[in-house]
Structure 1
Amino acid sequence: MPDWIHPVLTGAFLAVSYRVVRSSGVGLRVAVLVLAVLNACLLWVVAVAGPPWGVPVVAVVSLAAAVYHLVGAARDAVARLRVVGPPEFRELVRRVAEASGPQVMGVCVLFTGAVALTAFADDSRPEGRQFRLLPGPECPFCLVEEQIRDFLGAGDPLLGEYRTHLAAGSSRHLLVRRPSEQDPWTGRLRDRTVYRVPPAFRRPPCTVHDPLLGRP
């Protein structure tokens, strides 16, 4: 077997692996971990069994594939994202609430002070589409709590749980769902280490949440 076959096959395998991992839908951290381990193992194989030029060539191919798919993933994310105003935001929420069939909606206040809404893949049922309500005069936390009350009820314990996390500096991701229109809505809070409460200068004054978050 010629010595160049190892780097050629390895480079091709890595290029395909980036594509597979990107299309798998795994999170960024898992993708980075999997590809880092894969690169380390394959580069070691090339270093042991391949020619001296094999490692730098495979490394360049891997880097090019990584940059290509990173740019592609960023482009896909931007294509799924749409900025909306408060009226359109509430209209999207209303469409979720009134739609038939299984429904899932996620709402979260980002560190920037914007509110992220993930809901409904076409005009009538945009699943996987992401919408952003940019910081404005409305308190973003009040907007999230409004969804808790509207979907789950004013007395749902998730409201108190949400405020407890806010007081600890964690902006949890609210998920509400129902299997069908005959079933009741259920909700839970997802934790992500990057979901932090935005600083005071990135959110408007609020008589409800300012005392909770330490702003007089």
Structure 2
Amino acid sequence: MPDWLFAVLAAAAVVLCTRSIRVSGAGLRLAVLYVVVMNALMLWVVWKNGPSWSLPAVGAVSLVAAVYNLLAALRTTMGRIQRIGVPVFRTLVRRVADARGPQAMGVCVLFSGIVVLTAFTDDEHPEGVQFHVLPGQDCPFCLLEDQIRDFLGEADPLLDEYRGHLRTGSSRHLLVRRASAAEPWAGRLRDRAYYRVPSAARRPPCPVHDPLLAA
């Protein structure tokens, strides 16, 4: 095989593999890991078997392909985010509650003070679409706790569990779901390393949660 053909095939393989990983549906962090491993393997193959000039050439193609696909993935992610106000947030939550099922809803407060709602109700709001409530006059923790009360009841132990995590600086992700409208709602808290309580400067004053977070 001519040296130039080997380099072209290697570069084409890098581009195709990088794009395949991006459109595979893997999460962003997992996709980045796959791309790094795949590129390292391809460059090792080129280094072992190709001419000396092919390594920097394929490496440059690999870098361009990785950056391009990373930006494309970020654009796709940002395209799934819709910014909404508190009234629309409550409307979407009610739409989830009134759907026939199966129903699922996720709510969390990011370190930026943004409340993120992921609601699966019908074809208009498929999985993966996120609704962001930007910081404003409403306490983000109150918005989340309202969903625990409305869906699971005032006495549900999940409320105390959530506040216990807040005291440690961890902002857990609330997930509520049920298989059909005839079944009761079930809830649980999910943890992620980057779910941290926003600083006081990124949330409005709250007589309920400020003492809790200062404890």
User: Under TM normalisation by the shorter chain, which class is it?
Assistant: over 0.9
1:177-196 to structure 2, matched below 5 A, reads: 177-196=177-196
What do residues 125-148 of structure 1 show as CA deviations (whole Å, max 9, x unaligned)?
443211111111111001101111
Whether the aligned pair in 2 keeps the contact of 1:109 and 1:173 (CA below 8 Å) is yes
Report the counterpart of residue 91 of structure 1 in structure 2: 91
Report the counterpart of residue 23 of structure 1 in structure 2: 23
CA distance in 1, matches of 2:33, 2:74: 19
> Please, what TM-score do these two structures have when normalized by structure 2?
0.93
Report the counterpart of residue 206 of structure 2 in structure 1: 206
CA distance in 1, matches of 2:103, 2:210: 33
Report the counterpart of residue 148 of structure 1 in structure 2: 148
1:5-16 to structure 2, matched below 5 A, reads: 5-16=5-16
Is the alpha carbon distance of 1:121 and 1:45 closer, same or farther for their aligned partners in structure 2, counting shifts above 3 Å?
Answer: farther
Shift of residue 123, structure 1, vs aligned partner: 6.7
Report the counterpart of residue 72 of structure 1 in structure 2: 72
> Please, what TM-score do these two structures have when normalized by structure 1?
0.93
Report the counterpart of residue 165 of structure 2 in structure 1: 165
Report the counterpart of residue 106 of structure 1 in structure 2: 106
Shift of residue 121, structure 1, vs aligned partner: 8.9
Residue aligned with 1:171, SS: coil
Query: Matched residues, percent identical?
Result: 62
Whether the aligned pair in 1 keeps the contact of 2:95 and 2:121 (CA below 8 Å) is no
Report the counterpart of residue 119 of structure 1 in structure 2: 119
CA distance in 1, matches of 2:121, 2:176: 18
What do residues 67-115 of structure 1 show as CA deviations (whole Å, max 9, x unaligned)?
2111211211222111111111100000011011211211111111110
Structure 2: state its 5+ residue gaps: none
CA distance in 2, matches of 1:177, 1:18: 35
Whether the aligned pair in 2 keeps the contact of 1:174 and 1:190 (CA below 8 Å) is yes
Shift of residue 181, structure 1, vs aligned partner: 1.7
Structure 1: state its 5+ residue gaps: none
